[in-house]
Structure 1
Amino acid sequence: MLPKPLKHGDTVGVIAPASPPNIENYKKSIAFIESFGLSIQEGKHLKNVHGYLAGTDDERLEDLHDMFADDSIKGIIFAGGGYGTARIAHRLDYELIKKNPKIFWGYSDLTYLHTAIRQETGLVTFHGPMLASDVGKEDFHPLSKKQFNQLFEPTFLVYDESIAPLEVIAEGKAEGEIVGGNLTLIASSLGGQYELDTKGKLLLIEDVDEEPYRIDGYLAQLMHAGKLEEAAGIIVGDFNNAVPTRNPSLSLETVLDDYFRQLGKPVMKGFQIGHCQPHFAIPLGTRARLSTESKTLTIQPGVTGSSNDSESRL
């Protein structure tokens, strides 16, 4: 189920369903959103602080439901991630979301909601940079800015080495629905109601500030749960600051090789997707093709409407 594209004059809702966002960075991001001809409607509880949460569970849930229920809101863009979405996933009104499909854009802790909403409703959502966490910072990259263009018209995305060097861990070609996101959140979903389904799918993983031994542990969880074996291919996004503080330590490269080199399906790393700049935004739930021969990842559009047959690069 694809959401409708945005157009000039539309209003987008901004909420914080996880941790409190940096308000100064958020304020700096507003002009960027307005540059697309969009207006912003803030959630009532956007600036609330409840310990490490952006308001109570009830408040954050209310903001999310309000944005889906309001017909004047054409898309939902998140201020930031952090922690907290797993606390409210079981309380989402999935029938409301299914009846009011709209653009849903964010990443990091939002991985839990991406998975839950897609698997409960079929709605395609977007793994992309957030307002306070990315847009409002001085290092927000021009390529990251261009990623928002895919919300306005159907666009085939092609990621190749013109963006960043890619390294093949295991050779092959595979097609399937693209799923996943933050590795920590994927691992935390195992055994629960919203456990990520990877069967026949292209699995994206990325993370930040996790040492190699922690990444090793998460991958072991996915391996034992059959998630790596069931996947059609693996897209290794950015693992920002995966620096060991204990010595001796395995390197991140060694950990990835141990789990993926002999997996028997295409695995490629180096994608600038995640807690990085530039941050290449992608729809989750659309079909994609991963080829280690051409070193490309091609992804179908994430919004409705007719698109050109030729693949276009953002």
Structure 2
Amino acid sequence: MKPQRLAKGDAIGITAPASPAEMSLVQQAIPFFEQMGLRVLLGNTIQLEHGYLAGTDDARLADFHQMIADDAIRAIIFARGGYGTPRIASRLDYHLIRQHPKILWGYSDITYLHTAIRQQTDLTTFHGPMPVSDIADENFDTLSAKMFEQLFDPVTLHYSDDISQLSVIVPGEATAELVGGNLSLLVSTLGTPFEIDTKGKLLLLEDIGEEPYRVDAMLNQLKLAGKLHAAVGIIIGDFADAEPPEGKPSLSLEQVFYHYFSGLSCPVVSGFKIGHCFPNFSLPLGETATLRTADKSLTVEAGVKA
């Protein structure tokens, strides 16, 4: 189920379903959307703080549901990640989301929402940069900004070795539904009603701030849960700030990846600038994609209706 595409003059809502969003950074990001011809409406959670959450679970749920139900709001852009979306997944009104399908955009902690909403409603959602963590950053780049154009025009996306150096771990080609996102959030779905379904899927993995041994532990859990072997292809995005403390014995991330992926019978490619990085290449999760190692490329179908 693809959402409707945006048009100039449309309103978008910005809400914070996870950690608190600094108002000053949200304000810095608003002109970016206004320059695209969009009107920006801020949710109540933008000004809330409840410890490490942007308001209570009730407040964050109410803000999200209000924006879903409001047909004047054509897209919801999540302000930032952090932590909090797993706490509200079981209380989301999935029937309401099916009745009012619209663009949902974010990444990191938003991975839990992507996974739960896609698997409960079949709605395509978007893995892409957010106002606080990306757009307000002085390093926000042209390619990351350009990725928002896919919300206005249903274009096929192409990622090649020209964007970043890609490394083939296992050769091959696969075409399937694209799923995944942040590794630690995907692992946290295991054993819940929202457990990530990777069977016959292309699986995207990325993360930030996790040392190699932590990445190792999480990949091991996915492996033992059968999630790696069930996938028909693995797309390894950016793993930012993953270096162990100086002087601490460690495997490299490349060694960890080789250990878990080299024995798979499906194509595996690393080096994609997808995740906590610049550029941050945006993708519609739930759409059909093709990973091909012969030319080191990833192609993804458009995520909005024509």
TM-score range, shorter chain: over 0.9
Alignment RMSD, CA only?
0.7
Aligned to 1:59: 59
Look up the SS of the partner of 2:298 in the other structure: strand
Aligned to 2:257: 256
Look up the SS of the partner of 2:28 in the other structure: helix
Aligned to 1:89: 89
Q: Does 1:42 align with 2:42?
A: yes
Q: What amino acid sits opposite 2:8 in the alignment?
A: H
Q: How does 1:272-291 map to 2 (within 5 A)?
A: 272-291=273-292
Aligned equivalents of 2:45, 2:249: Cα separation in 1:
46
Q: Percent identity?
A: 56
Count residues with an aligned counterpart.
305
Look up the SS of the partner of 2:289 in the other structure: strand
Q: When the two structures are superposed, what TM-score results if normalisation uses the length of structure 2?
A: 0.99
Q: How far does the alpha carbon of each residue in 1:170-206 deviate from its partner, in whole angstroms, 9 at most, with x for none?
A: 1110110000000000000001010000000000000
Task: Give the ranges of 4+ consecutive aligned residues of structure 1 lying more than 3 Å apart after TM superposition.
Answer: none
Structure 1 range deviating more: 248-257 or 19-28 = 19-28
Cα drift, residue 277 of structure 1: 0.4
Retained in 2: the 8 A contact 1:81–1:109?
A: yes
Cα drift, residue 137 of structure 1: 1.0
Retained in 2: the 8 A contact 1:22–1:133?
A: no
Q: What amino acid sits opposite 2:122 in the alignment?
A: G
Q: What amino acid sits opposite 1:274 in the alignment?
A: G
Retained in 1: the 8 A contact 2:177–2:289?
A: yes
Q: Which runs of 5+ in 2 are unaligned?
A: none
Cα drift, residue 68 of structure 1: 0.5
Aligned to 1:168: 168
Aligned to 2:131: 131
Q: What amino acid sits opposite 1:196 in the alignment?
A: I
Look up the SS of the partner of 2:274 in the other structure: coil
Look up the SS of the partner of 1:45 in the other structure: helix
Q: How does 1:226-245 map to 2 (within 5 A)?
A: 226-245=226-245
Look up the SS of the partner of 2:46 in the other structure: coil
Q: Does 1:210 align with 2:188?
A: no
Q: How far does the alpha carbon of each residue in 1:263-300 deviate from its partner, in whole angstroms, 9 at most, with x for none?
A: 11100000000000000000000000000111000000
Q: What amino acid sits opposite 2:31 in the alignment?
A: A
Retained in 1: the 8 A contact 2:22–2:46?
A: no
Cα drift, residue 114 of structure 1: 0.2
Aligned equivalents of 1:138, 1:27: Cα separation in 2:
14
Aligned equivalents of 1:145, 1:247: Cα separation in 2:
38
Q: What amino acid sits opposite 1:40 in the alignment?
A: V
Retained in 1: the 8 A contact 2:238–2:271?
A: yes
Aligned to 1:18: 18
Aligned equivalents of 1:249, 1:27: Cα separation in 2:
41
Q: What amino acid sits opposite 2:25 in the alignment?
A: N
Q: What amino acid sits opposite 1:259 in the alignment?
A: Y
Aligned equivalents of 1:294, 1:230: Cα separation in 2:
24
Aligned equivalents of 2:179, 2:145: Cα separation in 1:
23
Cα drift, residue 168 of structure 1: 0.3
Retained in 1: the 8 A contact 2:199–2:227?
A: yes
Cα drift, residue 23 of structure 1: 2.1
Retained in 2: the 8 A contact 1:21–1:133?
A: no
Q: How far does the alpha carbon of each residue in 1:155-174 deviate from its partner, in whole angstroms, 9 at most, with x for none?
A: 10000011111000111101
Q: What amino acid sits opposite 1:263 in the alignment?
A: L
Aligned equivalents of 2:87, 2:231: Cα separation in 1:
27
Aligned equivalents of 1:278, 1:197: Cα separation in 2:
28
Q: What amino acid sits opposite 1:302 in the alignment?
A: G
Cα drift, residue 247 of structure 1: 2.0
Q: What amino acid sits opposite 1:47 in the alignment?
A: Q
Cα drift, residue 22 of structure 1: 2.5
Cα drift, residue 262 of structure 1: 1.2
Aligned to 1:146: 146
Aligned equivalents of 1:22, 1:240: Cα separation in 2:
22
Aligned to 1:7: 7
Aligned to 2:301: 300
Cα drift, residue 45 of structure 1: 2.2
Q: How does 1:66-85 map to 2 (within 5 A)?
A: 66-85=66-85
Retained in 1: the 8 A contact 2:23–2:46?
A: no
